[in-house]
């Protein structure tokens, strides 16, 4: 198909596919037209006679096969060869698509819907994501992140498996396992991370894959404070170190004993707070947002050997922070106590709070009916949340 024919048909079909008529929501007959000078501005330029003739010839061909109708300028009652506008013939849509070799949007939508429905019940997160994309298609909107069939299926395949990774795995190995290509996950990584944070209870996009045990490099657990760790027969007194200790995932199986000589064990959500927080009566662990299996393994070992200590979690005062605390309890079986996550802290640091987003409100409302009701209702009523970095505690 020649370029002017292609430009005309593609423009008119784009116009049609964006319309209410396409989804059957229009109660009136719509027409889809374009002024020829909007399509080809030089058509009206007397100096562009060759373009004028070529456009006329190609419009006549489209008119001959009835995929468009043409309105021409009149001189008195006589129609001239000068074209005013072109309109799509809705009775010849299939012929128009065939001429272009273009897949109808309705056919493409059916293929996208089939993929979404294949994954919709895989996980709660995918149920939320796929349901919203199906609704978007019903409203004649593109699905988020990708309408490329191959890319969309790859994204959904990764999401269907990534939340059930039990042991730390390198991102390239996970990519081979799920997608059959070591580099494929990196190409869709941004979309995967965004969907996890938008539709799941994950707040730290930068580290969300790591928190789900999919890592670029070996994971580390950072600890400091009052504890004695014995690794392969060698004891390390954390209290005598001027700073924290990073334990690689490879070392965790070699830890024989963790003795806490303090009354508290505190997990901290954010690295900045972990680095600045001091407590002379605690062993402190950097949780890094959601605890992955590496951090959880160490926490459980500490609890098994020190069940008489009080276990605290110190996180953001937002839906993500409460979600992390609840998840930490559920997956370790330890009754963590929230630390600095109450109304008093919100009031004390009210000048540093941020306003809630619509998603914040929705997530907070889903947490109502439990032990955090007092602080959650305060947050909803006062339109506020607080990141722990704003809290000065030493």
Where residue 334 falls (left for φ over 0; alpha for ψ -120 to 50; beta otherwise) is beta
**Predicted local confidence at residue 85, as pLDDT:** 95
Q: How many CA atoms lie within 13 A of 157 on its CB side?
A: 16
Listed in sequence order, the residues at least 6 apart from 192 whose beta carbon sits closer than 8 Å to its beta carbon are: 155, 158, 159, 162, 185, 209
pLDDT tens-digit readout, 16-48: 998 888 876 555 678 899 999 999 999 999 899
What is the bridge-based pairing of β-strands 255-260 and 337-338? Answer: unpaired
pLDDT tens-digit readout, 222-248: 999 999 999 999 999 999 998 999 988
Report d(CA 146, CA 187) in Å as an integer: 12
Report d(CA 292, CA 214) in Å as an integer: 9
**Predicted local confidence at residue 38, as pLDDT:** 95
To the question of pTM greater than 0.85 for the whole model, the response is no
Mean pLDDT computed over 336-358? 94
Q: How confident is the model at residue 359 (pLDDT cuts 50, 70, 90)?
A: confident
Closest CA to 305 of 371, 260, 250: 260
**Predicted local confidence at residue 76, as pLDDT:** 84
Biggest CA pair distance of the chain: 104
Domains located in the chain, CATH noted: 3-100 (1.10.10), 105-215 (no CATH), 220-390 (3.40.1360.10)
> Does residue 112 contact residue 143 with C-beta atoms inside 8 Å?
yes
Q: Tell me the C-alpha to C-alpha distance, in Å, between residue 32 and each of 38, 85, 200, 377.
A: 14, 10, 41, 51
> Does residue 68 contact residue 89 with C-beta atoms inside 8 Å?
yes
Residue 228 is classified by DSSP as E
Q: How confident is the model at residue 288 (pLDDT cuts 50, 70, 90)?
A: low
Report d(CA 369, CA 367) in Å as an integer: 6
Tokens at residue 26, please?
């229009």
Report d(CA 204, CA 142) in Å as an integer: 26
């Amino acid at each position: 198909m020649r370029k002017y024919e292609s430009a005309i048909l593609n423009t008119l079909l784009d116009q049609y596919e964006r319309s209410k008529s396409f989804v059957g929501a229009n109660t009136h007959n719509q027409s889809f037209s374009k002024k020829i000078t909007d399509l080809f501005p030089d058509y009206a330029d007397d100096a562009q006679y060759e373009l004028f003739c070529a456009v006329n010839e190609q419009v006549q061909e489209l008119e001959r096969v009835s995929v468009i109708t043409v309105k021409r300028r009149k001189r008195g009652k006589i129609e001239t060869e000068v074209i005013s506008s072109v309109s799509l013939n809705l009775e010849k849509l299939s012929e128009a698509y065939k001429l272009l070799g273009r897949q109808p949007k309705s056919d493409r939508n059916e293929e996208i819907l089939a993929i979404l429905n294949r994954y919709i019940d895989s996980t709660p997160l995918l149920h939320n994501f796929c349901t919203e994309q199906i609704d978007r298609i019903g409203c004649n909107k593109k699905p988020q992140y990708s309408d490329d069939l191959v890319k969309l299926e790859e994204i959904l395949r990764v999401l269907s498996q990534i939340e059930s990774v039990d042991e730390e795995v390198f991102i390239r190995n996970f990519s081979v396992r799920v997608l059959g290509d070591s580099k494929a996950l990196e190409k869709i990584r941004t979309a995967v991370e965004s969907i996890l944070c938008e539709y799941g209870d994950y707040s730290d996009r930068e580290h969300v894959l790591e928190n789900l045990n999919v890592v670029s490099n070996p994971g580390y657990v950072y600890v400091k404070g009052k504890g004695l760790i014995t690794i392969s027969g060698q004891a390390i007194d954390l209290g005598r170190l001027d700073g924290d200790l990073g334990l690689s995932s490879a070392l965790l199986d070699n830890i024989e004993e963790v003795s806490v000589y303090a009354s508290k064990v505190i997990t901290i959500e954010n690295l900045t707070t972990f680095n600045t927080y001091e407590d002379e009566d605690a062993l402190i662990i950097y949780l890094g947002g959601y605890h992955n299996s590496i951090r959880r393994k160490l926490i459980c070992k500490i609890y098994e050997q020190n069940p008489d200590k009080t276990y605290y979690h110190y996180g953001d005062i937002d839906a993500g922070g409460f979600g992390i605390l609840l998840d930490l309890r559920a997956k370790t079986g330890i009754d963590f106590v929230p630390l600095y996550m109450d109304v008093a802290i919100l009031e004390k640091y009210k000048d540093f709070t941020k306003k809630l987003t619509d998603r914040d409100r929705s997530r907070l409302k889903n947490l109502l009916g439990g032990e955090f009701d007092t602080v959650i209702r305060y947050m909803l009523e006062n339109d506020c949340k607080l990141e722990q970095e704003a809290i000065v505690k030493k």
